[in-house]
Structure 1
């Protein structure tokens, strides 16, 4: 007992000194994002693929006899497998069971059926056991039961075992890194995954199971071995259509109809989930860091300007000037309910100061949008290039007589799902690798096309729009507006031509249109936005007028939100929204009635409370311009909150009146 105590005490001291394990319900900040999120997600989505390769390694022999005088459809000699040793089959089955059970433990960990500290070590241990068994089997078969060339060769099952062992080992190392982050206290005892990421895991598992089912079906109806059947199923679902393996039997052709459709739907769901996950990665780890750097620069500029202004303000004490940089940056919108005497000029200056902060955040927003599009495009091109060139390098090594340029050509045709069929994987080592590579490469190409459409197509549309404004394609827009204004005759002719074209198009769609109904100006009857001078001149409209404006603004904002366009509001529009959002605040009403002091710039410092979002900082972390929602959606939420507050206040007021009448009675 004494010896055990002496041994245990240094171990506990070492663990307490170097490890800071956190409980499952810990909600403290987390870091090591790659280890906490990306690694377990990659392990859960790749584990079933390793299981599939292990299944292929079990169901068919590892060695083939080559029959040189008989050829397949692609012209290669026919290969027929012969039985493996009993010990090889038994150990192979043991490896498959360990791999599947390890994957089950990992899934139970995600669903929190089994504790993290139990499930994750079990997954690592079982996958390492599978790796050791497969490595030992492949080495033993190569040394003691190696096929005799040139009439014998290793089959696809052997190379599937090699790939499966490599995947198991890679996944085990990744999970070890995840456990290291947990022991070091970077995240609690669970996987930090969203519902979409868990859905991706289930979708990937379902897709791999569908490939395995296809292999079982087509190996019987097409009369090919299981490895070729899985390869055929993969080529079918990816719409490559090489034609090296076909289904001449009518039954097999009939089964392809439902199998291909269901498989492509499942593949589309997987690619869509991967695309969303990649967007989350890019936003959380690249875009947000870029915004944070830009915001810090804007805050430093704002603080320096504020410090210079405060040093010139004689009304501030030395202590206030000394702590200027420590004061939080807040938004200052003129409070429409304040009774503090403020002249119009002071209110206008406050609004203009706030507008400069708004313009700074708008510039950051636009620059970040460009940064997001182009960095995502560059990253997608880089990933595509790595997958393409490295895959071609492996095919060049595995295929006999294939040059590297031919391997690049083959990989490119596969990535774009062209599938000419003039170059296909033919060796027993290349086909299992192609299954794994294609399942990684096709989603990569899909995301690249999406990034190109988001960036290059946008630039192309902008360029064509510039060309159109300088030609007669769009005679009422762009530079022709300048010509129209400077040359009255040209302007009149353009307007008449435009009105005539609109009248003719309306007659074709709805019949004749009265000439008086043709709008006299492109703006139509859209209500005019108030200027800052108007807001400064009349900061406190009546509650009745503001309530009417609130209802009308909600109606217009709903139209903006449903338009399908990412509408951006001007600062003047935001000031109007802010006044409608804040006029229903009980705090503002109470402070206005009691003459509460404001923040010194005509604004009221408010935070988010049970009544909803009432105040924000334009260059702060909670700025509306940084929200994941569109601006109309964000504004609509705030306006509806204001409407709820207004209805509640009106109900409380009527209740108090009824109580007073009852007490008088």
Structure 2
């Protein structure tokens, strides 16, 4: 008895596979669009809030330990200060920490006369711990509310870098407290004074003063304790920076590109045939009298300018925000130190001076907190400065430092180290670059370093793609010798796909991400069956004049069944989204090659002429060297020599 499933035509199976490939690609593209268009506030609620809570949670726990290991009141002997007062027993209570803080803040808890009694460092640690717990609880409530409203899934999955940051924060705080405990015993300090010392030691501020190791044991232990703390702090700083670059920068960049894209589309003037790219930049933009390829290239060029302007705005907006946070930390911190160190007679200017030298880890030691509130606040304030300054320095590296570096290299090329074009040529080039806002660019294929992808894995992929190239080229030549032109072109098409896939894979992990020219895109899109000259396969961007905050943007997606239709100015554009251009190409080239290989295995599948053939190679001779099709003939000869060498072995 025959299996009815075996009677189905192979053509239907091939179509099913092809349809599944497109459906999977469509679903993935839609998911990426949704992630790309998610408002930043929901990303903050779904990802940033749990991350902040998980990072500040260990700090709050450490402060609660500091709050509960010592008494909350001290007696100030005559001629001494509150930093050297004797402890006073606290009332017996079983209240929660926040309740204890509230009670201790009242006059009932304070012992009279006020000039002879003060609150200890433990009390101020309790206040800060209660405040941190309140902030953490509020952030988690915001996360739960967003999940309840259905803005994101209810489960929260940590990425590797997020998990690493949390674990490193826990390790650093544990290391600080354990070290403080050991040195308090060795040097005879109060535990909280030792916490204050451990903090400015591990953060390399080095305030010195009263708290420095004076025993041989303490100085010997410092050799190991300090280097371990510096390493732990460096790991935390690296994790903070990687998170900013990993998710925050990516999401912020996506939102700026999307907002700029909408604004540009809304600025199209049909009568004047112009489009406004900026406050002072307006260019010609019209589809009248243009061919399909010309229209698409026009869209591509506009989208490139949108990318450049959005990225520049993102960089300087991030710099402004991080600078504001650092200035607030400086000015507000100085205000707190001025009030806490009033017994020392600190003015606001002195407090600014102390805060500045501490933030930059200069640590002269001429001024240092002596009050209980000042010491406790310094620990919290300095820990808060770690992520703040890390983000600021990272943003400065993308803007101010980069501009200064580029300008230095350019000035150097005009003076002591003139370039290969001489001083006059360098000056002309520099003036032109200054006009375009690009002082210096490193486009010398430095991006080809393998950063995220292991060298062994890349070598294996190169070898596999190389085998496919050799085999398909051999099959093409054999078919050509037998006069089978269609079969020859199909194998040649497979050879080109494998060759270009291997080439693009080298740019996947490029830093900065590689950007392809329109001619290169035209060539690659033709390879995957999306010819730029085919008007039926494209979609024009919709100009949406509804500027309400919650209006639905044009997604640039295709109608049902049109899986490949998109506009260069739409969200489905390869220039939009979270993937790099090389990643987009690798995915499409891989899917196309897999589909082609499957169809070749079934002889019943009716084949059409591929989008590129050996005749195209002959036609491409004489074109400019930038054309991606150049060099194929030389590659064919080299591959043929390798193939013959294998057969001769």
- TM-score normalised to structure 2 length: 0.64
Task: Report 1:400-479 matches (<5 A).
Answer: 400=342, 401-467=345-411, 473-477=417-421
Secondary structure in structure 1 of the residue aligned to 2:399: helix
Q: How many residues are matched?
A: 479
Moved more, 270-279 or 434-443: 270-279
> Is 1:572 the counterpart of 2:537 in the alignment?
no
Q: Which one of the candidate residues 240, 265, 284 is aligned to 1:274?
A: 240
Distance 1:551 1:384, change over 3 A: same
User: 2:228 aligns to what?
Assistant: 262
Q: Which one of the candidate residues 590, 598, 601 is aligned to 1:640?
A: 590
> Is 1:251 the counterpart of 2:217 in the alignment?
yes
User: 1:296 aligns to what?
Assistant: 262
Shift of 1:44: 3.1
User: 2:302 aligns to what?
Assistant: 360
For structure 1, list consecutive stretches of 5 or more residues without a partner in the other structure: 1-26, 71-75, 96-129, 309-331, 333-345, 486-539, 589-597, 658-665
The root-mean-square deviation of aligned C-alpha atoms, in Å, is 4.2
Q: Which one of the candidate residues 530, 535, 538 is aligned to 1:601?
A: 535
CA distance in 2, matches of 1:482, 1:81: 72
Which entry has the higher C-alpha Rg, 1 or 2? 1
User: 2:567 aligns to what?
Assistant: 617
CA distance in 2, matches of 1:561, 1:174: 36
Shift of 1:38: 3.7
CA distance in 2, matches of 1:426, 1:376: 36
Moved more, 179-188 or 155-164: 179-188
CA distance in 2, matches of 1:176, 1:559: 44
CA offsets 1:433-479 (integer angstroms, 9 cap, x no match): 11111111122112211211210122223334544565683343488
Distance 1:147 1:221, change over 3 A: farther
User: 1:49 aligns to what?
Assistant: 59
Task: Report 1:228-243 matches (<5 A).
Answer: 228-243=193-208
> Is 1:163 the counterpart of 2:173 in the alignment?
no
CA distance in 2, matches of 1:78, 1:602: 80
> Is 1:205 the counterpart of 2:155 in the alignment?
no
Secondary structure in structure 1 of the residue aligned to 2:349: helix
User: 1:392 aligns to what?
Assistant: 334
Moved more, 410-419 or 457-466: 457-466
Distance 1:649 1:151, change over 3 A: same
Task: Report 1:151-230 matches (<5 A).
Answer: 151-178=116-143, 181=146, 189-191=154-156, 194=159, 196-230=161-195
User: 1:500 aligns to what?
Assistant: none
CA offsets 1:103-149 (integer angstroms, 9 cap, x no match): xxxxxxxxxxxxxxxxxxxxxxxxxxx3123212443xx42551645
CA distance in 1, matches of 2:327, 2:105: 32
Secondary structure in structure 2 of the residue aligned to 1:82: strand
For structure 2, list consecutive stretches of 5 or more residues without a partner in the other structure: 1-34, 275-286, 430-486, 540-555, 608-649
CA offsets 1:306-340 (integer angstroms, 9 cap, x no match): x99xxxxxxxxxxxxxxxxxxxxxxx9xxxxxxxx
Distance 1:349 1:280, change over 3 A: same
User: 1:595 aligns to what?
Assistant: none
CA distance in 1, matches of 2:397, 2:428: 35
Shift of 1:377: 0.9
Contact 1:64 1:80 in 2 (8 A): yes
User: 2:318 aligns to what?
Assistant: 376
Q: Which one of the candidate residues 63, 73, 79 is aligned to 1:63?
A: 73
CA distance in 2, matches of 1:638, 1:404: 61
CA distance in 1, matches of 2:188, 2:335: 32
CA distance in 2, matches of 1:35, 1:634: 29
Distance 1:146 1:182, change over 3 A: farther
CA distance in 2, matches of 1:206, 1:465: 42
Contact 1:557 1:635 in 2 (8 A): yes
Shift of 1:397: 0.7
CA distance in 2, matches of 1:607, 1:187: 22
Distance 1:398 1:170, change over 3 A: same
Moved more, 639-648 or 396-405: 639-648
